[in-house]
Structure 1
Amino acid sequence: RIAREVYDIDAPLPVPYEFINRTGDTKKMSASKGTGVNAHDVVDMLPPEVVRYFMLRYSPAKRLYFDETDSLVRLVDDFATMKQHPQNELDERLLFLCTDGLDHPAVSSIPFSHLVISYQAALCDTAKTVEILRRSPEYVRIVDEEETVIITELGYVSRWLERWAPESLKFRLADEVHPDEFSPEQKEYLWRLADDIADAPAEADGNWFHQAIYAYKESGLLPPRELFTTIYRVLIGKDSGPRAGWFLSILPRDWLVERLRLVK
């Protein structure tokens, strides 16, 4: 009654829930003890529909565990999957509660995990990220239909990378490459792979690039694991990174060929 008569709004829906713990903690969050997560930070890093999803997807009697690092990516991806393919009436009702009253959706049909990789591969440039996604046959239709939503979601990606993302998920393309840091076998492997990619069809996707890498498994040039670590080292200066095939497929082709030839 107060909401209607004083504030001229509908009363908020009462949502009971258990204590919220940080993943790995046995006690509830406590601001006074410094173990809490600021609510303002949460809504700044997570789209509102995902915050609702986190609160509503389990029984009110179930204790909730919040992880602002790796599990946050899975949380957004899980919501996006449910949004695209609700499995039953409960999913439909949950989706309604998560999105009711929101004027502008902030979760696209492209997995949050892919946006995180694409955004960093585009040097954290929103417009270039959209270009990269549009080049992908898998996502071109989605970009055409949901470009505004994607741009909004990339804002959340940017803030999450800056504040919460674990170092294991962060990367940037190396500014330069030092050929003397690679063995003769590694150089030969990179040069051959560069030739393969130079001749690749324009529509080559992540699977094509993955198979191109795996084709060298029996070559004897390098151990199987080193086929991938060598690529990561030449591209981002680390021994591991995003899924190699998909990662290579979103990079500008000419730049990639030159970098694998240890030129750029």
Structure 2
Amino acid sequence: MTASNYLWSPSPVQSLPVRGSEQRMPIHRLFFVGRNYHAHAVEMGRPVDKSVERPFYFTKAPQTLTLSGSTVAYPPETKNYHFEMELVIAIGKAGFRIPAEQAHEYIYGYACGLDMTRRDLQLVARDKGRPWDLGKDVENSSVSSEIVPMPGKVIESGLIELSVNGQVKQQSNVDKLIWNIRELVADLSLFYHLQPGDLIYTGTPEGVGAVHPGDKITGRVEGVGTLELTVGQPE
């Protein structure tokens, strides 16, 4: 179908740069894992018992994707805008009902990510049993570094850290994930036909907190890379 068949120009395909390549990864969907570090689950007042629970997920529109290094406006209708540093899995092959022992075959690589959150709106929605969309599906809130190709590799450990204006706020290790990478890929594939370009934000450790206009966020995941985000003035 040509552009003239549309009432207006379609939105561009969201994509991310790939380290060592001139090609970019087209992004399909953004999945986020909730409460996947014990200490963060406790600080949110919702401890997790893996023996009786399964992972849970929420999604954001691909249009919320923002490249590391950007400056984004402080979002409207919130007074408590939070950072959440995460390891991101980039899916490279279609798969459905994937056995955990085969999960590595579907991994293209990894990135560093931020799940920026209107925490006040999220908590109001959570406590009223409503969807989290206004708190989570926020414009420019899905921050990602470049994709680092690591085909078939399962990251099992590595420092994950975030600082605001040079002060460390989050510091943990990927080995503290409640559901590890193999388990997440396998479980999510029971609900969705995973596709190349799907990103899975694997959860954040403890220490989440608010940022303000003018703040600079820096984060890193050992063996993957770093990211930066500057919080701009509200519109």
Task: Give the TM interval when normalised to the shorter protein.
Answer: under 0.3
Length-normalised TM-score, structure 1: 0.21
Structure of higher RCO (CA pairs closer than 8 Å, 6+ residues apart): 2
Structure ID, larger Rg: 1
Higher helix share: 1
Length-normalised TM-score, structure 2: 0.23
Higher strand share: 2
